[in-house]
Amino acid sequence: MVLVMASDPDLLSIGDLAQATGVNATTLRAWETRFGFPVAMRLPSGHRRYRREDVAAVRSVAQRRDSGLRLDVAIAEILDSARPSTGSVFTTLRREHPHLRAERLHKSTLTALSWAIEDEFCAQADRARIFGAFQTGRLYRPSRARWTELARLAASATVFADFTGTGDLPDDAPVTRIHLDPVSPMRREWVVVCDSADLPVALTAWELPGQETVADSRRVFEAIWTVEPAAVRDAARACARVAHEYDPEVGAPLLFALADAPTPVAPGLSALNSMFTRMLTYVDRHQAREHERR
């Protein structure tokens, strides 16, 4: 559930949503509990609110259900239709590796997982090709020094963002920056990919829409992560294709390097344990800071 910091006249109560869609409030609550749909936002008062876009989505699910489609399938179709379709690492993994489970995570948790991957995989992998998507140059700025150091250890390091308005951002060599158009699907994505023979890992997430009034650390993403070599290679190739679209001189060597099938060896338990321990440490630090602010 998303926390909304201020009331918004465009938000609907569950009663409003029920009236607008013809689906009663009890049913809507059951759908949300069982399938995570529709996504409720919570006001500081504790009241739940929904976006106006949810009206069309709920109506579409109801129509599909009434036509004979199973409810879970109908909801999955609506959720999939809202996700980015092309030029997207998230969509690539959903399509090519449907067994990978997507989870809804707050930005603070994603940040902890990303840092753990960078520390335990990207910084220690042998000649990895690493990719990161940061949405905007403003969000990349705090990670710039970190990625510059990672790039010194990697075979290549490529980052994606809309860098508009960040002309004062120093050159990151050896990091290659790809400037995304505002309409690029990757503008809504969070990506950390480490393609290597010994420590492959990929994390990709897309930001749920309608969170303009949500506190930054409480923004919610739908996330997938994996250490399966084939899935990691597909994620890396998706990044390379986007790089090629914007700069063929950057993308072509990446696509060539990633053309072969990966070594079918996943990271060992020790590496995974180190990553999760590191992640828990970062999560704990964040929670401690939040507690101090209160």
Residues 49 and 102 occupy one common structural domain = no
- Domain hosting residue 124, numbered range: 89-293
Residues 97 and 232 occupy one common structural domain = yes
Residues 129 and 15 occupy one common structural domain = no
Q: What is the CATH number of the domain that holds 106?
A: 3.30.870.10
The token pair at 289 is: 């800071």
Residues 51 and 195 occupy one common structural domain = no
Residues 206 and 182 occupy one common structural domain = yes
Judging by beta carbons within 10 Å of its beta carbon (0-12, 13-18, 19+), is residue 288 exposed, middle or buried?
Answer: exposed
Phi, psi (deg, nearest 5) at residue 17:
-65, -40
Residues 239 and 179 occupy one common structural domain = yes
Which of 82, 107, 127 finishes a domain?
A: 82
pLDDT of residue 4: 44
Amino acid at 98: P
pLDDT of residue 166: 73
Residues 145 and 229 occupy one common structural domain = yes
What string of pLDDT tens digits covers the 294 residues of the chain? 444 444 455 688 899 999 999 999 999 999 988 887 887 776 766 677 888 888 988 998 999 899 998 898 888 777 766 655 468 999 999 988 999 999 989 888 899 889 889 888 888 888 899 999 999 998 999 999 999 999 999 999 999 999 887 766 777 678 999 999 988 989 989 999 999 988 899 999 998 877 777 777 788 899 999 999 999 999 999 999 999 989 988 998 999 899 888 888 777 788 788 888 888 888 777 776 766 665
Return the residue matching tokens 């009236």. Answer: 19
Which of 23, 57, 82 finishes a domain?
A: 82
pLDDT of residue 40: 77
Residues 104 and 67 occupy one common structural domain = no
pLDDT of residue 5: 43
Residues 161 and 275 occupy one common structural domain = yes
The 3-state secondary structure of the chain reads CEEECCCCCCCECHHHHHHHHCCCHHHHHHHHHHHCCCCCEECCCCCEEECCHHHHHHHHHHHHHHCCCCHHHHHHHHHHHHCCCCCCHHHHHHHHCCCCCCEEEEHHHHHHHHHHHHHHHHCCCCCCEEEEEEEEHHHHHHHHHHHHHHHHHCCEEEEEEECCCCCCCCCCCCCEEEECCCCCHHHHEEEEEEECCCCCEEEEEEECCCCCCECHHHCEEEEEEECCHHHHHHHHHHHHHHHHHHCHHHHHHHHHHCCCCCCCCCCCHHHHHHHHHHHHHHHHHHHHHHHHHC
pLDDT of residue 201: 93
pLDDT of residue 100: 92
Residues 99 and 59 occupy one common structural domain = no
Which of 82, 108, 133 finishes a domain?
A: 82
Judging by beta carbons within 10 Å of its beta carbon (0-12, 13-18, 19+), is residue 76 exposed, middle or buried?
Answer: middle
**Does the reported pTM lie above 0.85?**
no
Please state, in angstroms and rounded to a whole number, the distance separating the CA atoms of residues 220 and 211: 8
The token pair at 202 is: 């990929």
Number of domains into which the chain is organized: 2
Q: Which one, of 170, 166, 125, lies nearest residue 145 by Cα? A: 170
The token pair at 130 is: 């690493």
pLDDT of residue 182: 84
Q: What is the CATH number of the domain that holds 18?
A: 1.10.1660.10
Q: Which one, of 200, 171, 166, 207, lies nearest residue 84 by Cα? A: 207
Residues 260 and 178 occupy one common structural domain = yes
Angle in degrees, CA 13, 17, 23, rounded to 5: 135
Q: Which one, of 243, 256, 236, 239, lies nearest residue 195 by Cα? A: 236
Residues 65 and 181 occupy one common structural domain = no
